[in-house]
Structure 1
Amino acid sequence: MENKLALLYIGAGASLWGIIGIFVTYFYELGFSPTQVVAIRALSASLFLVFYVMIKNRQLFRIKFSDSKYFIGTGIFSIVLFNWCLFSAIEETSISIASILLYTAPAFVTIFSRLIFKESLTTPKVMALMTTFVGCSFVIGVLPNTHESISLYGFILGLGSGLFYALYSIFGKFSLRKYHSLTVTVYTFLFAAIAITPFSGLWNVLPLFSDIKVWFYVIGLGFLSTMLPFLLYTKGLNTIESSRASIIATIEPVVASLIGFMVFQEKLNLWQYIGIILVIAAVIITSKKSTKKTLISNELSL
């Protein structure tokens, strides 16, 4: 029964990550830019996480000033850039395509781990890389010459989200050696908020915050699609092995695609759906060889 409950936690967390496109799209309709939406996510998530840690264990706030470099990496070079690329890709392409291009992250992690940590390129890893490449080619329309390819800019944004998402695993690998995962997450979003807010121009859209719908979307983005799924996913990891958890988490792009189809009437062709299946399959192949620490750092960024 406990394992079934853990599976439910993991599935619920991944599903909540998958609905983020709803809030992002509605923010755009109200007049917010991608940079402003990134700032709203970072600020709101920071506030919710700080409040949670104050209740749970204030000792988790303690870090060494010299270790700020880790959170510059996770917060600025990963979270800020990853979110900006993802939200811009949603605006440029669609929720479905942006979410599946984000899932190229495990392929980037494999490449970075080989270059930085000298991890071996096993047969499953090579298979996963090739599967990801073919799957993405189908998703963006390059193969099999469907004449429905997305723009080059949209493709670069999508790959950029996967690239910077992957960097969280690399930077997070160092910080998790010294700090609790919740500490890493809190300071990641705090550093992200401090970095992006001065450049967001949020003060130019202050009148928009008089609309009650904006505050609903702020809570949805910061709590429902950021903090809550993190808590659910982490709780599930306490009971079941991380490889099973990561496989269940691939429900995220499926949920995102369903949201795009049912809520925003986004349409994909058969080859793009095949591409989505291939990318998810590559994630499953990669996850079977992943360690628990890597997977925790991978998933906490969403």
Structure 2
Amino acid sequence: MNTKTLGYSTMIVSAALMGCVGLFARNINTSGDVIAFTRMTVGAICVFALMLHQGKTMLIKSTKLTPSVIASGACLGLCLAAYVSSTQHTTLANAVFLIYTGPVFSTILAAIFLKEKISKLTAGLLTAVFIGCLFIIGIINYDSTSGLTVSLSFSKENFIGDMLGLASGVGYGLYLFFSRYRTDVSSDSRSFYNFLFGAVAIALCFTVNPPSLAKMDTSSWVWLISMGFFIGFGALSLLTIAAKHLKAAELACVSYFETVVGAGIGISMFGESLTALQTLGGILVIAGGMGEIVLSMAKKHSNAKQAKATTQQ
């Protein structure tokens, strides 16, 4: 197996596991923050054990902790807590599409605080993601009687879940933004500290709103521990392998497979449905998120081809 094939294979499996969050969450009788905390804690323990086995624990000790390292981990933990809770209160499609609005918030923050310029293409793609988000949560709606309408009234059944989904998108955007401040940290150390500070942030929330485990039965515990191992440690380990063989843009493209898996599980296993506008919204979110990456990759490939042709002449 060549390195690209290995990279894509591991990334696809990693994204598929991430897309199963809702399946696990709906079989666990406790709140989303408890589920996210377990996932973060199991992930931190497993990553540390793996680094210990590989003799890389010195990387953890040598990493200088700064506010951005702590904040990126905390935002990731809180983002996942909001996302898991979202899957319990709205459709899996809504939850997984809304968390992927994160790159929009990250790009806006980078433009404001890092003075990064937003091209016309980027602005257009961000607009597509924003409109897609409005379709998904029902601000822009359509019915045969009223036609296309714009309203701030939300579905009572999905309102809490959709708002948690948006919150997870904001948290994901903040995580991406803070991660850009310390590119010198190794991927292993970054993973460990993300899990660690994610768990700490959720634990601090427990002091304000203590969790309840009263409804947890044997089945719930099995699902909870399995989720921590497979979707916490397993998905991350595969992502780490993929990152060694794929470029960042290639990783980002494949990661959107998670939205397809999440929506597919909701439709096939839980009998959920998407309206035509929600489907269009999901397509806009995926297209907007992947559009610039795909075009950038195509442009680089074209430039490389031209450079090669020039040298051969």
- TM-score w.r.t. the length of structure 2 is 0.82
Tell me the SS of whatever aligns to 1:144: strand
2:117 counterpart letter in structure 1:
S
Residue 186 of structure 1: how far off its partner (Å): 0.5
- Aligned-pair RMSD on alpha carbons? 2.5
Tell me the SS of whatever aligns to 2:139: coil
Residue 149 of structure 1: how far off its partner (Å): 4.9
Matched with 1:62 is 61
User: What is the CA–CA distance in structure 1 between the aligned matches of 2:295 and 2:187, rounded to whole Å?
Assistant: 21
TM-aligned CA distance change 1:155 to 1:206, over 3 Å: closer
Count of matched residue pairs? 283
TM-aligned CA distance change 1:289 to 1:53, over 3 Å: farther
1:208 maps to 2:206: no
Matched with 1:130 is 127
Residue 51 of structure 1: how far off its partner (Å): 1.4
Return the index of the structure with the highest Cα Rg.
Answer: 2
Residue 289 of structure 1: how far off its partner (Å): 7.5
Q: Which runs of 5+ in 1 are unaligned?
A: 292-302
2:19 counterpart letter in structure 1:
G
1:180 maps to 2:186: yes
Runs of 4+ in 1 over 4 A off after TM superposition: 146-149, 201-204, 288-291
Residue 273 of structure 1: how far off its partner (Å): 1.2
Contact 2:43 2:232 in 1 (8 A): yes
Matches within 5 A, 1:1-302: 1-2=1-2, 3-27=4-28, 30=29, 32-56=30-54, 57-63=56-62, 67-76=65-74, 78-146=75-143, 149-151=154-156, 152-177=159-184, 179-197=185-203, 199-200=205-206, 204-205=212-213, 208=216, 211=218, 213-288=219-294
Tell me the SS of whatever aligns to 2:188: helix
Structure with greater helix share of residues: 1
Tell me the SS of whatever aligns to 1:145: strand
Matched with 1:296 is none
TM-aligned CA distance change 1:69 to 1:63, over 3 Å: farther
Residue 258 of structure 1: how far off its partner (Å): 0.7
TM-aligned CA distance change 1:157 to 1:238, over 3 Å: same
Residue 204 of structure 1: how far off its partner (Å): 4.7
Contact 1:107 1:128 in 2 (8 A): no
Tell me the SS of whatever aligns to 1:263: helix
User: What is the CA–CA distance in structure 1 between the aligned matches of 2:210 and 2:41, rounded to whole Å?
Assistant: 11
User: What is the CA–CA distance in structure 2 between the aligned matches of 1:207 and 1:158, rounded to whole Å?
Assistant: 24
TM-aligned CA distance change 1:203 to 1:261, over 3 Å: closer
Residue 276 of structure 1: how far off its partner (Å): 0.8
Q: Which runs of 5+ in 2 are unaligned?
A: 144-148, 298-313
Percent of counterpart pairs with the same letter?
Answer: 25
User: What is the CA–CA distance in structure 1 between the aligned matches of 2:210 and 2:49, rounded to whole Å?
Assistant: 23
